[in-house]
Amino acid sequence: MSQVKPALAQSSFPVQLRELGIYKLKDGREYIVSTLYQDGCCLYSTQSWQMFGNAEFWVRPDGQLIHDGRPTRWGVKDLIDTGLTSKYPKASNFIV
């Protein structure tokens, strides 16, 4: 089993995003970054992250944020690092 390297550490993204870093868009919405993909990274809303939900944005190698397969007006340059770091969600959150 090979370990997946954080994609942003080896790419030419205009801004380095931290794995599990909590970032805020200029409109105030907060997202958790997952860089554990070989071809980019994803942004999860804080609610979606805690519930193992889907990512709201995919980040292209050029830094453009993609939502539902379409480019948005946002890019990684619009993300503000809050300095906070999330944790991976616990599976016990879903015991019914």
pLDDT for position 15: 63
Model confidence band, residue 36 (pLDDT cutoffs 50, 70, 90):
confident
55-90 tens-digit pLDDT: 999 998 889 999 999 999 999 999 999 999 999 988
Q: Which residue has the higher pLDDT, 50 or 14?
A: 50
Residue 37 has pLDDT above 90, yes or no: no
* Check whether domain 7-84 has CATH 1.10.10, yes or no: no
The full set of domain ranges for the chain reads 7-84
Contact 44/50 with Cβ under 8 angstroms?
no
Percentage of the chain lying above the pLDDT 70 cut: 79
Q: List residues bridging with 31 in a β-sheet.
A: 23, 45
d(CA 18, CA 23): 9
Residue 6 has pLDDT above 70, yes or no: no
pLDDT for position 13: 55
